[in-house]
Structure 1
Amino acid sequence: MDRPPAAQADFADELAAVRPDLAARYAAELPGARAAVLSRLWRGLTHDPLPWVAGRTGGRDGLSLRLTDGRRLDGPVPDPFATASYVTAVRLDETVYDDPARLMMDLGVAHSAEFAAELADSVASVALSRAGQPGSSVKWPESDWEWEQRVVDGHPYHPNCRSRPGFSVAEQLAYGPEHRPLVRLGLMPVPADECLVTGDWPDDLRDGDRLLVPVHPWQAEHVLKRSCAEGFDAHPLMSLRTLAVPGGPHVKTALSARITSSVRDISGYSIGLSATLSRFAESLSARMDGLLHFTRTLGAATADSPDLAAVLRESPQVYGDRVLPVAALATTELPDSPAWLADFARLALTAGLRLLELGVALEAHGQNLLVVLDASNTPVSLVYRDLADIRVSPARLTRHGVLVPELTGRVVTDDVTTLRRKLFGSLVCGALAGTAGSAAALRTALETAVRDLPRTPDLAALLEEPLPAKALTLMRLSPGTPGDQWTRLPNPLH
């Protein structure tokens, strides 16, 4: 039962060797890190369709979960949209738990041991991330990567918000954006005739008849197990594998490690569609009246392997001087204003629903979606990056007279449920909820934002039905089930 929390002690031992100056701060951050992960886990336990939860009953004082084996799990009244670490302990029968990993171990359900190890790693990584912060700063960041470095705890709702299995403490300090490193990317020479290339691959990443594919140093050491030629320095962004080149593009590298839910390689499928999707997105921008821009994919290449590939994208800062990821809004004072939050929600819903009506559902969570602010910090437009996980409906595009791009595979669907899940699950239950920070604040923002929106069937579904959200805890406890699994969260507008 003691094994998963040992990760916290293992981190402490490594930290004593590589950064002894952070050891005391790391230890001091552990209780808060446990509460942060336990709060995210409690969200999943209380809302995901877990097969071993027989029933849920509650009132004003808390919620009780009746398990199929007869045990009872008690905790506070859940707020599925809360971002604060409001769960400090829960009780399984007569035992109180403040550590999410120990709780999951003692629940003893299928795959709980593996999940407990990930939870323990997430706790340790959150504590390390918090320990490495320089303190509060009132300076408004000037560069895009500086905004990304301010997101310390990771995903606002995923229990594995900072889980990085396979990364040592030294590697987290060297590559994690919240630690503000400068990362030296390597360049792997590959014969051009062995590569799939789309878009315009730059001349400075060519060497005669070979392409020079940017490689993350962790990938080179642990997966490719090959040395790379010296490349260039870049600043890691929130996704860890995507880095900003000073004065240049963003480089998305293959990183075959599990970060939160997924292994971050780059498929040949996504490389093959990247140029087509980028051109299609540019055509959509012309229909959005300046509300929404898409970062262009400049070039993409793969050496016939998801472990050795890269995508070059333009920086979102081409669309303004004050452009920041929605996930970073929580690090500012802007969301504290109900009026500002309502304006932002109106902008985001107007753009997202208009595009959905046309036939495109965005994965508009706080990492992919960015907001452009004017000099008075009013939200004026949005920027979307990373088109790999959007969904495109040929039937809707045709209905609106939009030329259907030559796309195949998972991005293509006319299924209404799939399209709405993609947008509502990411935009409403992700970007907007994470910015609001609570069900009450989200309700206030949505009530104001939806008043003047066109009354489409998609808006009716948003107003009248429970909200779809990825069942993140269920997904980690059912590793044999491919793809996303979903739950339905209470609609704050009801």
Structure 2
Amino acid sequence: MDRVDHMPPSDDVVDHLPAVDDVAERADAYAAAPLLNCLLREVAEPLPATGERRTYRLPGTGRLLRVRGARRPAAPEVHAAGAWRRIGHTELVKLVAEELRRHTGLSSDDLPTEMIDSRDAVAALLAARARTTAPDDPYLRSEQSLITGHPHHPAPKARGGGPVAAWLPYAPEAHARFPLVLLGVREDEVAEEGDTCALDALGAAPPGYRLLPAHPWQLGLVGPDLAPAFADGRLVHLGTTPFPAWPTAAVRTLYEPRRDLYLKFSLDVRITNDIRRLWRHDLRRLRRTDTAASHALAASAGPAAWLSDRGYRTAAFAFEELAVLVRDGLRGHLLPGATPLLAAGLVEGFEGNPLAAAPDPAAWWEAYLRQVVPPALTAFAGHGVVLEAHLQNTLIAVDASGTPVQALFRDAEGVKLLPDVSRAAGWERLVYCLVVNHLTEIAAALAEHHPGLDPWPAARRALAAHDLPEIPALLASPTLPGKTNLLLRWTGADGAAARYLPLPNPLANG
């Protein structure tokens, strides 16, 4: 059994978990950390520090809350009747819900349910990981490492509230791999754009049909709606692939290593802020955004690469439900001898994580910054391309010593282009994705593994090296934009409607 299966989210949590390997207690700890991060960032008011715990006032209810740890808060306690009392995840959800009702004047039945669903999903994943083995391949291991998931989301592991048996066979965190379902779509009903020839190599379609792979979870969700198409011959079942595909951290994006092929599917399930469907409007603009990102990264002075979303294929009568997107594999872009790793996996931790093992963490961090920062900034400055350069959309390739030597970016769906958005809005989004979501998390994990390291002077130098008019203000500003995922979900806002609040800017202290 992979020893990472029993690694809690951080050392902050490790110190306060029970000695007995109790899945329920561990699930509480994993689920509480990101929920507390949201509450403390978006709502709570910090009070003067006392001892090893941080104390906060919740302004809506007036209650006092204290936690241990910083990057991944743990062991929450509330003050009542003159004493501090430890609360579990269920009580924490009730506390958060009451605070948000008072704080916003609004009620939500959905979000508390999602919070509990996320915690229960973590418990199911922990139990499943105890019965499985992580992939041998370090890249796949990094993609399937995210038990905590988004560190600032109130329900990062919610799976739509469905029964565990419906989604667990397809969960990357459970080290899943599975064959794809193969469908045939009658040729006159095919809708596609771009380069989709890789799909035709997955199997054989009968005359008059085109091959369309389907995610088995998605097919189970929308299957009843497709019964008429199967009945009249617009769709036919063609079995399954003789080989498995591996779900990546994005859940609905799968990787097939032998063919070096990524396939991204619709999934009618809410994961974090959005229903993860391939929406028609996003597919229709795919070629434009992908081409712009490809040109921007190709023009980069360093080895950075863009994993192109080449094209999509679907059935005209189930355009979004059966859509599949074809993405570049790794081999045509990766430096010789380099090993790609998911940036979010470096933060979460997995067997062989080079961030934790770096013999010279300062040099490792400077190498990391050299690979990630220049391509993202030059894409914006020179091409008007706003990469969604957050932790799950960035791969970091390392050499044999574990040193970062290349960054690979992905996901045209999240790319924004100027002037579709204003320069100010594009810059704010880039700063959030690249600095707040990405560099801040890597820096904190590195400092936690290597006490005494101050990562921010090097980050400041890396940003200051670029001649963008926005850089001086970024380095002088006392705040950075932080996305409000808790309030966004509580108020039922569209997942794409990012709202930001000011966070302390560690770059301003260098």
TM-score (norm. length: structure 2): 0.78
Within a 5 Å distance, the mapping from 1:403-418 to structure 2 comes to 412-416=420-424, 418=425
CA contact (8 A) 2:129 2:175 kept: no
CA apart distance, 1:375? 2.4
Counterpart in the other structure of 2:25? 31
Matched position secondary structure for 1:252: strand
Specify the code of the residue in structure 2 equivalent to 1:63: T
Within a 5 Å distance, the mapping from 1:336-485 to structure 2 comes to 336=356, 337-358=361-382, 359-394=384-419, 412-416=420-424, 418-437=425-444, 444-451=454-461, 453-465=465-477, 466-480=479-493, 483-485=497-499
CA contact (8 A) 1:297 1:312 kept: yes
CA apart distance, 1:136? 12
Instruction: Summarize the Cα distance change of 1:263–1:140 in structure 2 as closer, same or farther, 3 Å threshold.
Output: closer
Task: Encode CA deviations 1:48-102: one digit per residue, 9 max, x unaligned.
Answer: 2x5xx7xx2411123332433x5323223784xx1x3x32113165584533343
Within a 5 Å distance, the mapping from 1:58-137 to structure 2 comes to 58-61=47-50, 62-68=54-60, 70-76=61-67, 79=70, 82=71, 84=72, 86-91=73-78, 93-94=80-81, 96=85, 98-106=87-95, 107-108=97-98, 109=101, 110-133=106-129
Instruction: Summarize the Cα distance change of 1:140–1:146 in structure 2 as closer, same or farther, 3 Å threshold.
Output: closer
CA contact (8 A) 1:43 1:78 kept: no
Counterpart in the other structure of 1:188? 183
Within a 5 Å distance, the mapping from 1:255-404 to structure 2 comes to 255-304=267-316, 305-320=319-334, 321-330=338-347, 331=349, 332-336=352-356, 337-358=361-382, 359-394=384-419
Counterpart in the other structure of 2:220? 221
- Looking at structure 2, the residues matched to 63 and 455 of structure 1 have their Cα atoms a distance apart, in angstroms, of 41
Task: Encode CA deviations 1:368-417: one digit per residue, 9 max, x unaligned.
Answer: 111121222221221111111111114xxxxxxxxxxxxxxxxx21231x
Unaligned runs of 5+ in 1: 1-24, 395-411
- Looking at structure 1, the residues matched to 87 and 238 of structure 2 have their Cα atoms a distance apart, in angstroms, of 47
Counterpart in the other structure of 2:143? 148
Greater shift after overlay, 297-306 or 224-233? 224-233
Instruction: State yes or no: 1:41 paired with 2:32.
Output: no
- Looking at structure 1, the residues matched to 195 and 93 of structure 2 have their Cα atoms a distance apart, in angstroms, of 48
Matched position secondary structure for 2:219: helix
Unaligned runs of 5+ in 2: 1-18, 228-236
Instruction: Summarize the Cα distance change of 1:439–1:245 in structure 2 as closer, same or farther, 3 Å threshold.
Output: closer
Task: Encode CA deviations 1:335-370: one digit per residue, 9 max, x unaligned.
Answer: 242331232134312222222212211111111111
Counterpart in the other structure of 1:231? 240
Matched position secondary structure for 1:255: coil
Instruction: State yes or no: 1:245 paired with 2:256.
Output: yes
Task: Encode CA deviations 1:170-210: one digit per residue, 9 max, x unaligned.
Answer: 23431101212222222333334434311122234665443
Instruction: Summarize the Cα distance change of 1:444–1:361 in structure 2 as closer, same or farther, 3 Å threshold.
Output: farther
CA apart distance, 1:134? 5.1
- Looking at structure 2, the residues matched to 302 and 97 of structure 1 have their Cα atoms a distance apart, in angstroms, of 51
Q: RMSD of aligned C-alpha atoms?
A: 3.0
CA contact (8 A) 2:68 2:74 kept: no
CA contact (8 A) 2:149 2:156 kept: yes
Counterpart in the other structure of 2:9? none
- Looking at structure 2, the residues matched to 425 and 113 of structure 1 have their Cα atoms a distance apart, in angstroms, of 29
- Looking at structure 1, the residues matched to 407 and 76 of structure 2 have their Cα atoms a distance apart, in angstroms, of 39
- Looking at structure 2, the residues matched to 133 and 369 of structure 1 have their Cα atoms a distance apart, in angstroms, of 25
Specify the code of the residue in structure 1 equivalent to 2:393: N
CA apart distance, 1:449? 3.0
Determine what percentage of the aligned residue pairs are the same residue: 26
Specify the code of the residue in structure 1 equivalent to 2:344: A
CA contact (8 A) 1:433 1:439 kept: no
Instruction: Summarize the Cα distance change of 1:364–1:119 in structure 2 as closer, same or farther, 3 Å threshold.
Output: same
Number of positions where the alignment pairs a residue of Structure 1 with one of Structure 2: 441
CA contact (8 A) 1:144 1:317 kept: no
CA apart distance, 1:140? 9.3
CA apart distance, 1:135? 9.6
- Looking at structure 1, the residues matched to 283 and 245 of structure 2 have their Cα atoms a distance apart, in angstroms, of 22
Instruction: Summarize the Cα distance change of 1:364–1:26 in structure 2 as closer, same or farther, 3 Å threshold.
Output: farther
- Looking at structure 2, the residues matched to 432 and 389 of structure 1 have their Cα atoms a distance apart, in angstroms, of 18
- Looking at structure 1, the residues matched to 132 and 444 of structure 2 have their Cα atoms a distance apart, in angstroms, of 20
- Looking at structure 2, the residues matched to 32 and 115 of structure 1 have their Cα atoms a distance apart, in angstroms, of 22
